[in-house]
Amino acid sequence: MNNSRNLLLAFVLSGLLILGWDVGMRYFYPQPETQAAQRKTPPGGVVASGEEPGAVEGTSVVAGDLTNGTPATGPVDLSAALADPQRVVIEAPRIAGSINLVGARIDDIVLKDHRETTDKDSGPVRLFAPERTFDEYFAEFGFLVNAKRSSSQAVWSADGDKLTPDRPVTLTRRENDLTYSIKLTVDEDYMITAEQSVTNAAEEAAAVVQPFALIKRSAIPGANADADPRYNASPDEFLSHAGPVGVFDDVLNDPHAYHELAELKTWSPTGSPDWLGFSDRYWLGALVPGESAESATFRSLKSDLFRADVLYTAQTLAPGATLTQSTRLYAGAKDSVILDRYEDGGISQFGKAISWGWFEIIEKPLLWLLRTLNGLIGNFGVAIIGMTLVIRGLLFPIAQKQFSSMAQMKAVQPKMKAIQERYKDDKQTQQQKIMELYKEEKVNPLAGCLPLVIQIPIFFALYKVLILAIEMRHEPFLYIRDLTAPDPATILNLFGVLPYEVPGFLGIGVLAVLLGVTMWLTFKLNPSTMDPMQQQIFNLMPWFLMFVMAPFAAGLLLYWVTSNILTLAQQKYLYSRHPQLKAAAEKEKAEMAQKAEREKAEKSKA
């Protein structure tokens, strides 16, 4: 009776946990109802006449805070904004777009190597977009004069019509006796350099001049950002930071998400800025300041807008003098190879823009191995299988030691039982004698746990690699179009035949079923010495994990299924090498069954 009640309780608790997982994920990481619902109005909205867009909400306009002098009106259609003739084309190997001569803004960047969706005809990922469009996100370089920002609507002249790695473009404009210029260069990857200069043509000292650089963006990154449209709240994103990020005095600072920055209003990390900007799971917009950076601040603006800005030291220009300041802008994918290359070139901790976390020491070698295998094989799905073979091959000596330890444990079982029986009323002495037995027989009872302990960080590290590595994004395998997304072939919609999506934990796909079956087979192959009640609960584990793991990345399930298959082969081989281990387990299992039958018979008689 107690066993039946406990079994029923186990079923109920398992069901509640499965349901609770999905409900909890939806509660703590809510998904938007639809992209369209979130994006009926642009993030900047319509600004009332006379209002200072860019002023920090709840504060008065302060000179030097980079607020615009001209009120904005909107919204703005993206196609119409990009059709403006006052633009200079950007054409580089990895990025394309244009520079807006109104305000000297880099507000049009698409990433040529990455598509918005898995559809082959989908367009490239758009990273930057003009002000007051739905995906507002841009960089601007300019000057403060007497602590006041000149109009952001000022029109600049360009000495060329296209910016390429071989052809820099210089923007110029004149205001009173000051001549401003911004020389822009772009490299082969994602870095644009802006060299800002101002020359005083007056016969006397000019006003105080202070160069600045900023990135302004909406908290609604859009569908191509692969994150929740508002505050990066998709279930996977708790492993990845989205929001303000930077390195100050060689220390990474990324404690705040967008909604936390909105509560703080402003945030100025301590230390000299090495770089700062905004991070999504796969994309990064960041400023790399030159020397003389006086302040670096993240700000929450009105209407879900955010800004990262750098102010340089203000100087009074003597007659005929020129002030020059250089700032770099990274606008691109968080490719670890590229980021590390920039870090090797002198940008401190630039590779930390990817949220590797504590297991970076494992994650980066795994990513390297996946890239290497993919280069040889040509498919990341097969590369995951190959990586699993490599890992299990490296762990095989440990597995052999595990089975040898298990055999030794079985050999000392009679002596252990004798000690337990002799000292059954003195637990302290019993434990002491058992430890002496282990030492005498050279048995390590924890050796059998080592393979499992090693697998846990590897499993978690692979999960983070699948979530964070841009190389894995939209990578297909057989019928799977994206290894970083859940298995699309779910049973309840007949593998895509029925026209609806199965929600959450009910989306049991082919890989989830294979996971449950292979895990069940490994449990069946391994003779258990648990009592019948424990065995019944243990038998539920594969099917419980089948539901829990179904919403996870298909690549992760592919790794686990492959690992289970290798475990089956390994167990068969090792049991053939240690037949006494299986025989002893079977004997002990039979004895426990007989004991349970006797107890049951005695209870029925009573």
Confidence check: pLDDT of 63 > 60: no
Confidence check: pLDDT of 359 > 70: yes
Map out the domains of the chain with their CATH numbers: 31-354 (2.70.98.90)
Return d(Cα 314, Cα 325) in angstroms, integer.
Answer: 11
Q: What is the pLDDT of residue 574?
A: 72
Percentage above 70 pLDDT, the chain: 72
Confidence check: pLDDT of 530 > 60: no
CB atoms within 10 A of CB 300: 24
Confidence check: pLDDT of 399 > 80: no
Identify the burial level of 555 via C-beta atoms within 10 angstroms of its C-beta, where 0-12 means exposed, 13-18 middle and 19 or more buried.
Answer: buried
Confidence check: pLDDT of 448 > 70: no
Q: Is residue 463 within a helix (H) or strand (E), and if so which, with residue range?
A: helix 450-468
270 band by pLDDT with thresholds 50, 70 and 90: very high
Q: Which residue, 133, 119, 94, is CA-closest to 283?
A: 94
Do residues 219 and 306 touch, judged by C-beta distance below 8 A? yes
CA dihedral 65, 66, 70, 71 (to 10 degrees): -60
Residue 135 carries which DSSP code?
T
Q: What is the pLDDT of residue 184?
A: 97
Q: How far lies 218's CA from each of 8, 258, 440, in Å?
A: 51, 10, 68
**β 87-91/162-163 pair status:** parallel
Distant-in-sequence, close-in-space partners of 367: CB < 8 Å, separation ≥ 6: 336, 465, 469, 471
Give the tokens for residue 287: 């400023």
Average pLDDT (278-282) is 92
428 band by pLDDT with thresholds 50, 70 and 90: confident
Identify the burial level of 138 via C-beta atoms within 10 angstroms of its C-beta, where 0-12 means exposed, 13-18 middle and 19 or more buried.
Answer: buried
Q: What is the pLDDT of residue 40?
A: 40
Of the candidate ranges 99-108, 152-161, 500-509, the one whose mean pLDDT is the lowest: 500-509
Return d(Cα 281, Cα 511) in angstroms, integer.
Answer: 25
Q: How far lies 154's CA from each of 139, 352, 537, in Å?
A: 15, 37, 72
Q: Which amino acid is at 2?
A: N
Return d(Cα 441, Cα 409) in angstroms, integer.
Answer: 9
**CA end-to-end distance (rounded Å), the chain:** 14
Token match 């404009």: residue?
173
Q: What is the rounded radius of gyration, in angstroms, for the C-alpha atoms of the chain?
A: 31
Q: Is residue 215 within a helix (H) or strand (E), and if so which, with residue range?
A: strand 208-218
Return d(Cα 345, Cα 100) in angstroms, integer.
Answer: 29
Q: What is the pLDDT of residue 502?
A: 66
Average pLDDT (103-131) is 91
Q: What is the pLDDT of residue 297?
A: 95
Q: pLDDT tens for residues 531-572? A: 566 567 667 788 888 888 888 888 989 998 998 898 888 877
CB atoms within 10 A of CB 303: 17
Return d(Cα 444, Cα 593) in angstroms, integer.
Answer: 28
Token match 């006041």: residue?
148
Confidence check: pLDDT of 46 > 60: no
48 band by pLDDT with thresholds 50, 70 and 90: very low
**pLDDT greater at residue 159 or residue 439:** 159
Q: What is the pLDDT of residue 528?
A: 53
Q: How open is the CA angle 150-152-155, to the nearest 5 degrees?
A: 100
430 band by pLDDT with thresholds 50, 70 and 90: confident
Q: How far lies 94's CA from each of 195, 208, 552, in Å?
A: 22, 39, 31
Return d(Cα 95, Cα 108) in angstroms, integer.
Answer: 10
Give the tokens for residue 472: 């894995």
Q: What is the pLDDT of residue 488?
A: 83
Q: How far lies 376's CA from each of 133, 169, 371, 372, 467, in Å?
A: 43, 41, 9, 6, 23
Q: pLDDT tens for residues 207-254? A: 788 999 999 998 754 433 444 333 333 333 567 888 899 999 999 998
Q: Which amino acid is at 122?
A: S
Do residues 150 and 142 touch, judged by C-beta distance below 8 A? yes
Confidence check: pLDDT of 62 > 80: no
Return d(Cα 503, Cα 491) in angstroms, integer.
Answer: 12
Average pLDDT (585-593) is 65
The reply to whether the predicted model has a pTM over 0.75 is yes
347 band by pLDDT with thresholds 50, 70 and 90: very high
Q: How open is the CA angle 330-143-187, to the nearest 5 degrees?
A: 25
Positions of E strands within 320-425: 322-333
Q: Which residue, 159, 199, 214, is CA-closest to 183?
A: 159
Return d(Cα 362, Cα 374) in angstroms, integer.
Answer: 18
pLDDT, mean over the chain = 78
Give bridge partners of residue 87 from the DSSP assignment.
100
Q: What is the pLDDT of residue 120?
A: 78
Confidence check: pLDDT of 328 > 60: yes
Provide the 3-class DSSP secondary structure of residue 591.
helix
Average pLDDT (577-583) is 66
Q: pLDDT tens for residues 155-209? A: 999 999 999 999 999 999 998 888 999 999 999 999 999 999 999 888 777 778 8
Of the candidate ranges 61-65, 112-116, 553-557, the one whose mean pLDDT is the lowest: 61-65
